[in-house]
Amino acid sequence: MESLLLSNVTTLVDAPVFGLPAWLSAASKVDVYSLGVVVLFIILAMIMRLLLPRSGSIAWVTAKETLLQPLFLILTLVGLFGLFIFPFLPYHTLGEDIKIVVSQGLTLVKLTCVFLAIWTASTSIADEIEGKTALMILAKPVGRQKFVFGKYLGVMVAVTALFLILGIFFLNTVSYKLVYDARESAKDLPTAIECWEYVRGVVPGLLLAYFETIVLTAIAIAISTRLPLLPNLTVCLTIYGLGHVVPMIVASDAVANMPIIGFFANLVCAFLPILDHFNMETAIAMNRSVGWDYVALSGLYSVLFACVAMLLSLTLFEDRDLA
């Protein structure tokens, strides 16, 4: 009796939802969970507006301006188009195309959101300082700390909205890629539960990419209090490159052979964020899953470094002559 009941439950789980194909059934589960995340995001944005009236108002205006500007629409369309064509590109990896699709998709989602964060931080802070708009806002009973914090929250709201759009679509394409590769290789099609399990294993990578975006957004806010768009973009991309490359140099054998390089590499790691902590490419290549404890620690690291970057931005903005 127990074996029969277990067999029925397994059949029910493996069966597609409402007769849908396996990938579409898994994608429908992704969309249901994603809808809950979107609702939670909206609720948190409303709570932020109520609990932080002044900073929340600045954040609301910043997010609304970002969502309505053409750049947001352009980045959304570019990101969706890139994620759409990735599953159909030939990679010639002998059955490992799904790994390339996941790696490229995570990188595209992350870089698109980072570019939006840098652009928005520069236009909403640096341009307002140069155009004396920030001086008009601070003439009201709004402190500089609330102004910078509100700008950061507003940028993060817009970045999170873009991240949700691209992330949800990305998970759907990953689900479809599993079935697409099986058809191209004349293999047995994966079941709905297999598609769902693989997609669920990619979710930690999306969260790690989001944590990296949190750190880089805080850095972009700090730089925008002193520098305009082009220098801000250059510095952030440099930090992005060093944050991924330098930890690899520290862990390599070259440090022992060249002490000078090792000294400078450790110095960079001491002051810049170690963005390699948010990298999932190694786990993807070795078919390893990322544990939720590692995700939680990475999230804590991103929050702590974002707080340090915000303290730096407040320090830089306090001495900035707005007149």
How many angstroms from the chain centroid is the CA of residue 323? 36
Residue 260 to residue 6: CA distance in whole angstroms = 62
Domain ranges of the chain: 22-318
Q: Is the pLDDT of residue 43 over 70?
A: yes
Q: What is the pLDDT of residue 13?
A: 39
SS3 142: coil
Residue 18 has pLDDT above 60, yes or no: no
Q: What pLDDT, on a 0 to 100 scale, did the predictor assign at position 30? A: 67
* Distance from C-alpha of 76 to C-alpha of 69, rounded to nearest angstrom: 12
Q: Would the pLDDT of 3 be above 70?
A: no
Residue pLDDT, tens place only, 57-116: 888 888 888 888 899 999 999 999 999 999 888 877 776 788 888 888 999 999 999 899
What's the chain's average pLDDT?
A: 79
| pLDDT at site 160 | 92
How far, in Å, CA of 129 to CA of 149, rounded? 15
What backbone phi and psi angles, to 5 degrees, belong to 186?
A: 60, 40
Cβ atoms of residues 203 and 298 within 8 Å = no
d(CA 202, CA 170) in angstroms, rounded, equals 10
Pair 75, 121: CB distance under 8 Å: no
Contact 109, 206 (CB under 8 A): yes
Give CA separation, 224 vs 134, 185, 232, 241, in Å.
13, 50, 6, 19
User: Could you count the other beta carbons within 10 Å of the beta carbon of residue 139?
Assistant: 9
- Between residues 179 and 250, which one has the greater pLDDT? 179
Q: Tell me, what's the pLDDT at 215? A: 92
pTM (2 d.p.):
0.83
What percentage of the chain reaches a pLDDT higher than 70?
A: 77
Ranking 7-11, 48-52, 104-108, 116-120 by mean pLDDT, the lowest is 7-11
How far apart CA 93 and CA 100 sit, in angstroms, is: 9
Higher pLDDT, 310 or 1: 310
What pLDDT does residue 50 have? 76
155 close to 28: Cβ distance less than 8 angstroms? no
Q: What is the pLDDT of residue 6?
A: 35
More confident residue, 141 or 107: 107
Largest CA distance in the chain: 81
Over 60: is that where the pLDDT of 189 sits?
yes
